[in-house]
Amino acid sequence: MANLDSSQRVFQYDKGELRKIAAVIRKMGDEAKDQAREVTGSLTDYAVKEIQSAARSYPRPKQAMRIADGIRISKSSVVGEFGLGFASQRFSGGATTQLREGNVATNAILAGVEFGSRKSKHFLPRTPKFGLRGNSGYFIWPTLRKIQPEIIKKWEEAFSLIAKEWDK
């Protein structure tokens, strides 16, 4: 089992553990993979609903809800994945919910909404530093950090049952 350390932004398995999990998934039959997708899908749905709930309490909920409502869940994933911030989600002024990359000025607002800004008045103030790199965030990252232990525990329990059943 991986360690959750306060300096980490996201829970992570070490590479050896991931290789073991991937090997088990590859050996499982289609029915077992479907069960794994069902379990991870429900946990991913739960995470998305929690993020959307946190977005409603954000001081500027219109921006946050546009980002949270646009989260896309990968239905084919057996480990539970979702994506956020897309060019297709546009605001009336041309802004998108994408994550701005580098120092190039763009209309991408995801980072500004989640982490704030020191310069732009369009966003809340910059959130405090968190860990070795990055900032704590307003609603996405704090929510994921809060629910992460519960999600990991449920995923590991469910996956253990599936693997046990199909490892006969």
The pLDDT value given to residue 8: 43
* Angstrom distances, CA of residue 20 to CA of 13, 30, 31: 11, 18, 20
**What confidence tens digit (pLDDT) does each residue in 54-63 have?**
999 999 898 8
**What confidence tens digit (pLDDT) does each residue in 121-154 have?**
888 999 999 888 788 999 999 999 999 889 888 9
* Distant-in-sequence contacts of 21-28, Cβ < 8 A, 24+ apart: 21/79, 21/159, 24/163, 24/167, 25/78, 25/79, 27/166, 27/167, 28/162, 28/163, 28/166
| Amino acid identity at 92 | S
